[in-house]
Chains A and B, each alone.
Chain A
C-alpha cells in the first residue's frame, strides 16, 4: 500500500481523534460550568427560601452581608468546579486511535468489519514495526473513504457533539435564565436613592441622580462666602444639605418654574415664612432658577408645580467666634511703682480663620466717685484670613502708660474672625488686672489679689520641714536615741509655729480682721462655725444645735476648708514629732503640704480696706416701718414646652403613611419623607440625638426595604416610654 494512502488514512484518523477529543473536553467544561451554576442556583434557592416561606423578616437590601454571601457563593462554586474537573480528568485525555477507528466503523452502515481497527493497531503510528498487508490497507482506506464520502463522518461527529453537549448546555442555559429572572424578582423595582448629604465641605461626591417627585432633575449649587475659602459644590438630587451660614444656594431645574415658598423651621414645629430671602429668576429656555441664602436656622424650601412637589432643607451652620487664651502674663499682679515691661503672648483658634488679633488695655484711674477710663489697643496685627490658629506677642511698658498710684490696668487678648459683618462680636480671653498700689495700702495685710496671704517667710515652710523630717527618718537608725529625740523636738517646735500661723490665717479670715487688733482663736467664746475638738479644728455640723444665726457675730467668709485640713494634719505631725517618731510624722506632713497647695489654688481672696461691720438689730426694727405692702398676685411661670409628645404623634403619622403606600415612589412615601425631613430640621437645635436617629431613618427610607427598625429606634430616642415599678401605692408613677 502506498505510503500516501496510509498517510491519508492516518491523517483522517488523526482528524477524527482531534474532533472527538474536542468534544470530550467541551463536555467536561460544560459539565464544570453546569456544576458551578447548579451550586450557585442551589445556594440562592436556599437563601431565598426564608423569603418564600415568610418565616423570617426580610433582609434589607442594603445589608452589608450580601457581599459576604456573594463571595461565599463564588468560592463554593469554584470549589465545585475544581472537584468536577478532578473527577473528570480521565475524560480530558485523548481517546486512543484504535478506539477512534472503532467508532468510525460503527458509524457506517452494516456490521463493522474491524478492518480499520486492525489496521490502526498495526500501522496507526507512523513508527509501527509491523506493516500491514495490502488487503488490510485497502480495506482500511476503503472504510475511511466511505466514511468521508457520504458525509457520514461529519454528520456523525456533529451528532455526537450534540449528544455529548446537549445535557450540560441545556442545564447551563436554564440555570442562567432562572438565576437572572430570580435576581430581578427578588430585588423588586429599582430603589430610588435620595441621599442626605451630611458633609458640607464639598468633598463628598454628589448623590446619583434619579428623578423624583415629578419636578425633574434638580441641580443645586452652593457658593460659600468668600472669606471661608471653600470651593463651590454642586449636588444633583438631595433633599437636605448643610452649608455655612451666609452661603448662597442656587437651585436650578428644567421646565416651567415651580411655586416656591421658603420658611424658617422653628423647634416648636412652627414655621415662619421668609419670602424675602428667596428670589426667583425669570424662566428661560434653560429652565428655572431659585436663589436663597443659608442662615443660622434651618430653612425649608418647598417647590410645587401642579401635583408634584419637592422639599429641600438647608441647614445653616453658624460661624463661631474665635477662642482666645492669654498665655502670658499668667496672673494678676500689684505693683508698687509703675515701672516694668511685661511680655505678652496669646493664641487663638477659629473654625474658619482668624483675621486680626490684638491686646486690649483698659486703664482706669480715680477714686471715690470720679473714675476716668481709657482704652488702648497694642500689638494689632492682621493675619491671613484662612489661618485657623494664630499666635501673637507683644510687650507692655507700664511706664509708657502714664500710670499713677491707685490705677488699674485690665489686659486681655482680642481676636476677630474673617466674617465681613462690621458689628460682629469678637473673641476675647481672660482678663488680667494690674494695680498700682497706693502708699496707704502698703501696710495693710493681704493687698494682693492672687495667692492667699503667705505666712511669715521667716518660718520654715512645710515643704522644708518635710524634707528635714525625711532626712532625720533616714538617719535615725544610725543615731543615738537621745539625739533623735532632740532633733525631733526641734522639728516639732517649728511645726507648731507653722501651725499657729496657719491658725491665725484661718481665724483672721473668719473675723475679717487682721490678727494685729484682736486675736481670734478657737476657744474665744465666739461662734466662728469652727469647733476645736482635742486640738483639731472641725466645721460645725449642720445639726440643730449649731445653726449660725444663733449668736453668730462674724461672717463666714468662704471658710477655707483646705487650710483647716492643713491645720489638723500639722497637729498630727507635731504630736508624732514630739514623741520622737519622725516616721509617723511624714504622712501627716505630706497631707498638710497637699492641703496647703490646694488652698493656694482654691481661694483668691483678698481683704482690702476692711469693710465696716454693721449688724442689724432685727428685734428692734422688725415691722416698725410706717408703710405697708399690699397683697399682690404673682404671675405664673410658663411651662416648659414638651414637644416630644407631638413629635411622637408625627412619627406615628409617618408610619401610617408608609404602611398605606409601600411603593418607594408613591405619593404617600414622598409625603412621609418630607415630614421626616422637616421633623429632623426642627430637632437639630434642641434634640440632636433625635435628629441623628431621623437621619438614619431617612437613609433607610432611601435605601428601600423595611424601615420599621429605624422608626422604632427613632421613637425610642424620644424617650416617651419609661418602665416603672409597680407597688400598691403607685398611681401613675413610682414613688
Chain B
C-alpha cells in the first residue's frame, strides 16, 4: 500500500504533457549516449588507423631504427610495397637510406604528413647599437603568435595570407612562431662586430645635433668637419672608409667630398644617407637618387603640432631613374600641391643603397619640436639608417671536416628526388633552407572532447526525466 496517495487528481492533459516531456528527455539521453559512443568509436578507429599505419618517419625514429625496420620489411616481404608515412623530414642519412632502397628496385610509397601550411620566417639582426632583431614571416590567414623563452611576445590576426614583421629590442631564445596549424622555431642569429657611422658635413647645428642624436642612440661615429683652413674637429679615429668598419655614411650639408671613395664604398655594400642640402653636391650627381630643385618653407607653427615634420623646410625632390620613393607627404600637407611630395627616396647602387631625405635642418625638430621630439628624432635616424644600411652580416662559420650530404640545402626537394613524389600529392612550399634549418612540426589541433560533453548531456537529461517522474508520483 503506498505510503501516501495523492490528495488530488491532476488533469489528464498535464499528465500527458509531462509524459511527453519525459519521453523526449529519455530519447534525448539515449541519442546523446549513442552519439558519444559513436565519437568514441571514431576516435578509436582513427587511433587504430594510425597504429595500423605503415612505418612512420618521425623525430623519434633514429637512423639505426629506420635501417632495422627497412631491413625487416624487405626480408619479410620482398615484393611488397614499402609504405611510409613521413611525419618529419628525414635526416640526411635517412634520406640516403631511402634513396638507396628506391634505387635497389623496391617500390616505395609514402604519405606526406610533414608539410607545414605555408609558414616561412626569417630573423635578421639590424645593424646598429643593441642589434635589434627583425623577424619577418609569411603567415596564412588566422592568428600568428610570436613567443620566446619568457612567454608570449605578440599575437595578431591577419585576414588573408600576408607578410608580418616585428622588431624586437630584446628576446630570449628559443623564438617560436605559431599559427593555428604549425609551429616554427626560429634561430637567433649571433651578434656580430658593430660597425661605425661616418658623418660628413659643415660645422653647424645640423651636424652637431645629428651626431648627438646618433651617439645618444648608441652608434659610434667618426668623421671630421673643417672649422677653419687650418683647423678641423675630428670625431673618432680617422680610419679610411671601408665596409668592414663603417656601416653607413651620412652627409648633412653641401660640403666637399671624395666622390670616388664614396662610390666605391656604396658599391661594396655600404649605405649612404644624403640630407636635403647634400643633394646639391655636384660631385655626387651620379650617386644621388633624386634631384633637389627648390626649397619649400615649413608650415608656420608646424613644429609644435603633433606632426612636427610639417614645420621643417623641405627640398622638392625629383626622383631619378632607378630610384624609388619610400615615403611621401600626403597631398594636402604639401601646401597647395596636388600631387604628393616625396620625402624619402632610395636607390640601389651596386650592392649598397643611397637614401635621400628631403628635409633641411632636422635639428629644429629636436630643439623646437614637441617634448617627444628628442626621442622621435633619434628614432627617425634609426629607421633611416636601418633602410640605408645592410643588416649585420651573419658570422661565417668554418665547419670542421664534416660530411655534407648533397641536398642539405633543400631537404624536401632532395627527398622527392630520391624516392619520388608522395602518394597523396600535396604541393607544399619548401622549408626555409640554410645551414641553420628550422624544424617544422605539426601540432595536433585542439580537439574538443565531444564525447565527454555528450555524456554529461545524457546524464542531465536522465536526471530531469527521473525528477519529473518522481515529482509526479511515479517510480
Please tell me whether chains A and B touch each other in their complex, using a CB distance cut-off of 8 A. Answer: yes
Which residues does A use to contact B, with CB under 8 Å?
24, 42, 46, 49, 53, 55, 84, 87, 90-91, 93, 95, 102, 106, 164, 539, 541-544, 623, 628-634, 636-640, 642, 644-646, 648-649, 651-652, 655-656, 708, 711-712, 715, 718-727, 729-735
**CB pair A731 B148 closer than 8 Å:** no
Given A732-B127, A733-B167; A636-B235 close (CB under 8 Å)? yes
**CB pair B167 A729 closer than 8 Å:** no
Which residues does B use to contact A, with CB under 8 Å?
1, 3-4, 6-8, 124-130, 132, 134, 136, 146, 148-154, 156, 163-172, 211-212, 215-221, 227-236, 294-298, 300, 313, 324, 326-327, 344, 346, 353, 355, 382-384, 386-387, 389-391, 446, 448-449, 452, 456, 460, 463, 471
**CB pair B297 A735 closer than 8 Å:** no
Residues of B contacting A84 with CB < 8 Å?
Answer: 471
Residues of A contacting B164 with CB < 8 Å?
Answer: 723, 726
**Residue of B3, B124, B127, B228 with highest tally of chain A CB at under 10 A:** B3
**CB pair B382 A629 closer than 8 Å:** no
11 examples of A-B residue contacts, CB within 8 angstroms: A539-B300, A542-B297, A543-B294, A629-B228, A645-B170, A712-B152, A721-B154, A721-B166, A730-B387, A733-B382, A735-B344
Residues of B contacting A640 with CB < 8 Å?
Answer: 216-218
Q: A84–B470 Cα gap in the complex (Å)?
A: 10
Residues of B contacting A541 with CB < 8 Å?
Answer: 297
Given A731-B126, A733-B387, A735-B344; A712-B7 close (CB under 8 Å)? no
> With A632-B234, A732-B127 given, can you name 5 additional A-B contacts, CB distance below 8 Å?
A24-B3, A164-B3, A542-B313, A640-B218, A652-B150
Given A95-B4, A543-B297; A636-B236 close (CB under 8 Å)? yes
**CB pair B298 A542 closer than 8 Å:** yes
Residues of A contacting B156 with CB < 8 Å?
Answer: 723
Q: For residue A80, which residue of chain B has the nearest CB?
A: B467
Q: A164–B2 Cα gap in the complex (Å)?
A: 12
Given A90-B4, A628-B228, A639-B215; A715-B126 close (CB under 8 Å)? no
Contact of A656 among B4, B149, B235 (CB under 8 A): B149
Residues of B contacting A636 with CB < 8 Å?
Answer: 215, 220-221, 235-236
**CB pair B215 A726 closer than 8 Å:** no
A263 to chain B, nearest CB (A): 25
Q: For residue A734, which residue of chain B has the nearest CB?
A: B383
Q: A20–B166 Cα gap in the complex (Å)?
A: 79
Residues of A contacting B150 with CB < 8 Å?
Answer: 648, 651-652, 655-656, 711, 715
Q: A623–B296 Cα gap in the complex (Å)?
A: 33
Residues of A contacting B169 with CB < 8 Å?
Answer: 642, 644-645, 648, 719-722
**CB pair A630 B344 closer than 8 Å:** no
Please name the 9 residue pairs, one residue from A and one from B, whose CB atoms are nearest each other, closest first. A732-B126, A733-B386, A652-B150, A629-B231, A542-B297, A645-B170, A637-B215, A648-B170, A639-B218
A626 to chain B, nearest CB (A): 12
A584 to chain B, nearest CB (A): 27
Q: A310–B384 Cα gap in the complex (Å)?
A: 49
A559 to chain B, nearest CB (A): 12
Given A90-B6, A732-B127; A652-B218 close (CB under 8 Å)? no
**CB pair B218 A729 closer than 8 Å:** no
**CB pair B295 A652 closer than 8 Å:** no
**Residue of A644, A655, A734 with highest tally of chain B CB at under 10 A:** A734
Residues of A contacting B229 with CB < 8 Å?
Answer: 623, 628
Residues of A contacting B221 with CB < 8 Å?
Answer: 636
A117 to chain B, nearest CB (A): 12
Residues of A contacting B463 with CB < 8 Å?
Answer: 42
Residues of A contacting B218 with CB < 8 Å?
Answer: 639-640, 642
Q: A722–B233 Cα gap in the complex (Å)?
A: 38
A interface majority secondary structure: mixed
Contact of B233 among A87, A539, A634, A655 (CB under 8 A): A634
**CB pair A732 B134 closer than 8 Å:** yes
Contact of A720 among B6, B170, B232, B298 (CB under 8 A): B170
**CB pair A731 B4 closer than 8 Å:** no
Q: A712–B154 Cα gap in the complex (Å)?
A: 9
Contact of A543 among B7, B233, B295, B452 (CB under 8 A): B295
Q: For residue B126, which residue of chain A has the nearest CB?
A: A732
**CB pair A53 B387 closer than 8 Å:** no
**CB pair B217 A639 closer than 8 Å:** yes
B408 to chain A, nearest CB (A): 27
Q: A711–B129 Cα gap in the complex (Å)?
A: 27
Contact of B231 among A42, A539, A630, A718 (CB under 8 A): A630
B304 to chain A, nearest CB (A): 14
Contact of A722 among B167, B294, B326, B387 (CB under 8 A): B167
**CB pair A49 B456 closer than 8 Å:** yes
Residues of B contacting A708 with CB < 8 Å?
Answer: 151-152
Q: A623–B211 Cα gap in the complex (Å)?
A: 27
B363 to chain A, nearest CB (A): 15
Residues of B contacting A649 with CB < 8 Å?
Answer: 170, 172
Q: A504–B130 Cα gap in the complex (Å)?
A: 59
Residues of B contacting A721 with CB < 8 Å?
Answer: 146, 153-154, 166-169
Q: A645–B471 Cα gap in the complex (Å)?
A: 68
Residues of B contacting A734 with CB < 8 Å?
Answer: 383, 386-387
Q: For residue A629, which residue of chain B has the nearest CB?
A: B231
Given A91-B4, A729-B324, A733-B126; A628-B149 close (CB under 8 Å)? no
**CB pair B129 A730 closer than 8 Å:** no
A468 to chain B, nearest CB (A): 34
Given A630-B231, A715-B150; A726-B170 close (CB under 8 Å)? no
B475 to chain A, nearest CB (A): 12
Residues of B contacting A106 with CB < 8 Å?
Answer: 1
Given A723-B164, A729-B326; A652-B384 close (CB under 8 Å)? no
Q: A629–B234 Cα gap in the complex (Å)?
A: 13
Residues of A contacting B165 with CB < 8 Å?
Answer: 723-726, 730
B353 to chain A, nearest CB (A): 8
Contact of B151 among A42, A90, A711 (CB under 8 A): A711
Residues of B contacting A725 with CB < 8 Å?
Answer: 165
**CB pair B234 A732 closer than 8 Å:** no
**CB pair A712 B151 closer than 8 Å:** yes
Q: For residue A655, which residue of chain B has the nearest CB?
A: B150
Q: A371–B171 Cα gap in the complex (Å)?
A: 64
A727 to chain B, nearest CB (A): 7
**CB pair A632 B134 closer than 8 Å:** no
B335 to chain A, nearest CB (A): 10
Residues of A contacting B456 with CB < 8 Å?
Answer: 46, 49
Q: A99–B334 Cα gap in the complex (Å)?
A: 103
Contact of B167 among A91, A623, A630, A732 (CB under 8 A): A732
Q: A652–B449 Cα gap in the complex (Å)?
A: 34
Residues of A contacting B136 with CB < 8 Å?
Answer: 726
**Residue of B165, B168, B390 with highest tally of chain A CB at under 10 A:** B165
**CB pair A623 B228 closer than 8 Å:** yes
**Residue of B125, B171, B219, B390 with highest tally of chain A CB at under 10 A:** B171
Residues of A contacting B236 with CB < 8 Å?
Answer: 636
Q: A656–B218 Cα gap in the complex (Å)?
A: 30
Residues of A contacting B471 with CB < 8 Å?
Answer: 84, 87
**CB pair B227 A629 closer than 8 Å:** yes
Q: A630–B231 Cα gap in the complex (Å)?
A: 4
**CB pair A735 B235 closer than 8 Å:** no
Q: A711–B149 Cα gap in the complex (Å)?
A: 12
Given A90-B7, A648-B170; A735-B149 close (CB under 8 Å)? no
Q: A630–B228 Cα gap in the complex (Å)?
A: 9
A621 to chain B, nearest CB (A): 13
Q: For residue A54, which residue of chain B has the nearest CB?
A: B449
**CB pair B234 A631 closer than 8 Å:** yes
Given A53-B449, A636-B221, A720-B170; A735-B387 close (CB under 8 Å)? yes
Residues of B contacting A722 with CB < 8 Å?
Answer: 166-169
Q: For residue B224, which residue of chain A has the nearest CB?
A: A631
Residues of A contacting B148 with CB < 8 Å?
Answer: 652
B311 to chain A, nearest CB (A): 11
Given A87-B471, A655-B149; A645-B130 close (CB under 8 Å)? yes
Q: For residue A650, which residue of chain B has the nearest CB?
A: B150
